[in-house]
Structure 1
Amino acid sequence: MSLYGTMRTGVSGMNAQANRLSTVADNIANANTTGYKKASTQFSSLILPTTGGAYNSGGVNTDVRYSISSQGTFTYTTSATDLAINGKGFFIVQGSDGVEYMTRAGAFTPMSDGSLQNSSGFKLMGYPYSSTEDPTIVINGFAGLEEINLAAGELNVKASESGYLHVNLPSNAEDPFSKTTSLVAYDSLGNTRKLDFKYSTTGTPNEWSLEVNYTDPVSGTVTPLLAATTLTFDTDGKLVSPTDITLAGPTTIGGGVLNPLEISIGGTSGGSTQLAADFAAKGDIDGIGPSGVAGYEISDDGIVYLKYENGDLAPKYRIAMANVQSPDNLKPLPGNVYAQSSDSGVVVMGYAGNGGYGTIISGALEDSNVDIAEELTSMIESQRNYTANSKVFQTGSELMEVLVNLKR
């Protein structure tokens, strides 16, 4: 065995333990970093072939691996924009360089420009929300994403489109009898429009008439929205027809357009009735009047809602998620973000709660998956092993000195 080889093997062992200590130092330093995934050093032997009966000492190689797929525990907060993923997947964020990355660090804060940025300055990305269909996504790339911006809805108006009104009409009322109730709708400018629903007996059993009008509060002008319509009930007091009505429009009132309204008045459950009880009514019409943003809500499937001062919730964005075939082989980058590598597989896009992706927890952060006790144990082991390898080097050096001194 070569004494030089012995010394080189000792140096190889010291370098390997130094690498292990470096990962331990990183892990301990980031033990409280949101979404941090620990690094570990794996050792593999380097064997040299034996020649002429002489043993050739080899060494040790190291490979750094990351436990990116290992989920950490959760810490709950009071901020609705603090987000954690329970399950597989990554948030998509954009750096100042305009490039998209993946991360599990969800400590997002609303900025003055309306963007949601985490503690490393990366902006959360997603798709505009649509109530009729899911956004079209590029499965294997980040095309089509846009910055989630909460300032876009600072003052919101949504014209009314539909609603319901379920009433009980007293079956024992003496003809003629009429009763009026009202619902408020919003026009295209956010003006409130009080709609009067007038129910009247027709003199025919199990029949009532319904008409809907709008009365201008200033001029007193009455605008018919629904001419007298016959409501027919069966002998059990349930509304047979019609079950839905359409209020005529668009009608321009004071500069705002009141769109056609689809109003549900009956159905298989909870519809209008004709029973021997007092007149009663319950109903609502959608729409939002001019209102500022008072807060935010994010559902477990990643829909971002703006909460307005009047209590209404308006969905604005759908948070995008991504994953790869081998998350542990992603390339870690500064800022606790990851990029696709040749070993990780291609990026696959999706949404929270479906397609194998985890759900989003609002008001929570994923903790680092570092175990301090385990890291301190590794530190002690590395320290002892480094010392032992240094003794090998020192012994080889002493033997070399003995060999040189033979000349004397």
Structure 2
Amino acid sequence: MGLYGVMTTSVSGMSVQSDRMGTVADNIANINTVGYKASSTEFATLIAEGSVAEYVPGSVSTIARRLISQQGDFTYTKSPTDLAVSGNGFFMVQSDAGTPYLTRSGNFVANADGDLVNAAGFKLLGYNLLDGSSSSVVNSAAGLQVISTSGLGMKATPSTSGKFGVNLPADATVTAAANLPGANAATAEYAGKTSIVTYDNLGHQVTLDVYSAKTANNIWEITVYDAAGSSASGGFPYTAGSQLATTSVTFDSTTGALTTASPQALSFNIPNGSTFSLDISKMTQLAANYSPQTGANAPSANGSPPSAVDRLEISNEGIVTAVYADGSRVDAFKIPLATVASPDNLTAISGNVFATNKSSGDLQLGTANDGGRGKIISGALESSTVDLASELTTMVQAQRNYTANSKVFQTGTELLDVLVNLVR
């Protein structure tokens, strides 16, 4: 090939150094891109065929190597939807067209529709725990949904259980049967009344009036009414259907506690609500005034009025929990992690996402922090893996090598000019 071979080889050398500079430029440009994986340029010789005694100039080619499996450092934030993966695995995201991809770029925020999207606009995917679709499909994104806060509106928690811990006076007067609260007469008499606030299925407040009246020595009647049915004066008689439950309890004359044979709880339905269990096992009959207990046994009930989501919490296993203003918690989504056999061979797509191919291996989905997959860190972002000092060094080397190859080309053209001038 002679001089033409020299020039062709030097052009090849300049071309690969240009490729190398392009890699450096991309890396430096993305030094602040969340989850960006630095690339490097590797070289391979291209040898022209020739005899043993003859040297034929060849050329050189480049192979771009993406260091996708390299772990980046963490930058911690105050946003629970900023996510990073410590270890193996990628978040599953999808484009506006619905195409699934893999990414380590976890700077997710809720858009106008409530969908969690990262800076490139890709939507985070996960399993919806609210409808029970939490089973992963191996080698597939089937079953994954866009994680969105739009379905986590206001929520009411109906009351299902409560406690009625009070002390009943041992020296109380026995009430005549006709005047017991359970008879619902205007002349009702009782030793004590305590009101407990509960909530129906829609979050409406339902106040329970709990009456205690002595029917015999160590025996008491406990009656529960819906306060909404009370008379205009706020007491008896209640309207028909307002009585929710009544029972008779017996106390041990020695200890003042309920006997083991005595009912330990009342079960009834909250109007427009759930079945409610009122624990009365901690009631006492002592020589003291009627008084509600304090602490763990104080008269109380669970449930809450409608409240909105206050914040999201995301565990290391990817469980997205909606925490409501009333303190209630609901596990809403599960973020899986995707792995492949050879992550460095994934196909890079614009937006700092990746697609699988034959070289990378099939997609595998599973729970974070399990089975060799990394854990998800909420309130953190994975920094770019670009080392600026190393990139600047590579840039200088590429510049020098490009210049050297250009000198070879220049020398080749000068020699060619000499050859051409010989025939003039």
Normalised TM-score (structure 2): 0.78
Whether 2:108 is the aligned partner of 1:108: answer yes
Gaps of 5+ in 2: 174-190, 232-237
Give CA deviations for 1:191-227 in whole Å, capped at 9, x if unaligned: 133446778999999x999776544365545433474
Q: What is the deviation of 1:26?
A: 0.4
Matched letter for residue 206 of structure 2: R
Give CA deviations for 1:46-94 in whole Å, capped at 9, x if unaligned: 2334415111222222111111111211222222222222222111111
Whether 2:358 is the aligned partner of 1:342: answer yes
Residue range with higher mean Cα deviation, 83-92 or 178-187: 178-187
User: Cα distance 1:359–1:238, how it changes in 2: closer, same or farther (>3 A)?
Assistant: farther
Give CA deviations for 1:171-210 in whole Å, capped at 9, x if unaligned: xx746698776654322111133446778999999x9997
Q: What is the deviation of 1:305?
A: 2.6
Residue equivalent to 1:81: 81
User: Cα distance 1:378–1:231, how it changes in 2: closer, same or farther (>3 A)?
Assistant: farther
Q: Residues of 1 paired with 2:206 and 2:9: CA distance?
A: 86
Whether 2:380 is the aligned partner of 1:364: answer yes
Q: Residues of 2 paired with 1:158 and 1:86: CA distance?
A: 36
Q: What is the deviation of 1:374?
A: 0.8
Residue equivalent to 2:68: 68
Contact 1:193 1:214 in 2 (8 A): yes
Q: Residues of 2 paired with 1:101 and 1:186: CA distance?
A: 45
Whether 2:389 is the aligned partner of 1:373: answer yes
Q: Residues of 2 paired with 1:324 and 1:242: CA distance?
A: 63
Q: Residues of 1 paired with 2:259 and 2:107: CA distance?
A: 52
Contact 2:268 2:277 in 1 (8 A): no
Residue equivalent to 1:330: 346
Q: What is the deviation of 1:353?
A: 2.3
Contact 1:169 1:280 in 2 (8 A): no
Structure holding more strand per residue: 1
1:52-201 equivalences under 5 Å are: 53-130=53-130, 135-160=134-159, 162-163=160-161, 165=163, 174=170, 184-195=197-208
Matched letter for residue 343 of structure 2: P
Whether 2:228 is the aligned partner of 1:216: answer yes
Gaps of 5+ in 1: 267-271
Normalised TM-score (structure 1): 0.81
SS in 2 for 1:349: strand
Give CA deviations for 1:250-309 in whole Å, capped at 9, x if unaligned: x4x2xxx2212457788xxxxx69899994342665544212233333233222233333
Matched letter for residue 348 of structure 1: Q
Whether 2:47 is the aligned partner of 1:34: answer no
Whether 2:322 is the aligned partner of 1:295: answer no
Q: Residues of 1 paired with 2:396 and 2:285: CA distance?
A: 82
Q: Residues of 2 paired with 1:202 and 1:280: CA distance?
A: 26
- Which of 264, 268, 274 pairs up with 1:248? 268
Contact 1:185 1:192 in 2 (8 A): yes
User: Cα distance 1:241–1:35, how it changes in 2: closer, same or farther (>3 A)?
Assistant: farther
Matched letter for residue 294 of structure 2: A
Give CA deviations for 1:218-250 in whole Å, capped at 9, x if unaligned: 554543347446799x99x9998999857233x
Q: What is the deviation of 1:12?
A: 1.6
Q: Residues of 2 paired with 1:166 and 1:55: CA distance?
A: 100
Q: What is the deviation of 1:406?
A: 3.8
SS in 2 for 1:306: strand
Matched letter for residue 137 of structure 1: S
Contact 1:166 1:281 in 2 (8 A): no
Q: What is the deviation of 1:123?
A: 1.3
Residue equivalent to 1:10: 10
Q: What is the deviation of 1:378?
A: 0.6
Give CA deviations for 1:138-174 in whole Å, capped at 9, x if unaligned: 12111111111212222222333x556496979xx74
Contact 1:246 1:260 in 2 (8 A): no
Q: Residues of 2 paired with 1:44 and 1:197: CA distance?
A: 87
User: Cα distance 1:349–1:258, how it changes in 2: closer, same or farther (>3 A)?
Assistant: same
Q: Residues of 1 paired with 2:67 and 2:333: CA distance?
A: 31
SS in 2 for 1:143: coil
Residue range with higher mean Cα deviation, 139-148 or 188-197: 188-197
Alignment length (residue pairs): 393
Residue equivalent to 1:280: 294
SS in 2 for 1:325: coil
Q: Residues of 1 paired with 2:391 and 2:43: CA distance?
A: 16
Max radius of gyration: which structure? 2
User: Cα distance 1:210–1:330, how it changes in 2: closer, same or farther (>3 A)?
Assistant: farther
Identity of aligned residues (%): 42
User: Cα distance 1:151–1:379, how it changes in 2: closer, same or farther (>3 A)?
Assistant: same
Residue range with higher mean Cα deviation, 110-119 or 272-281: 272-281
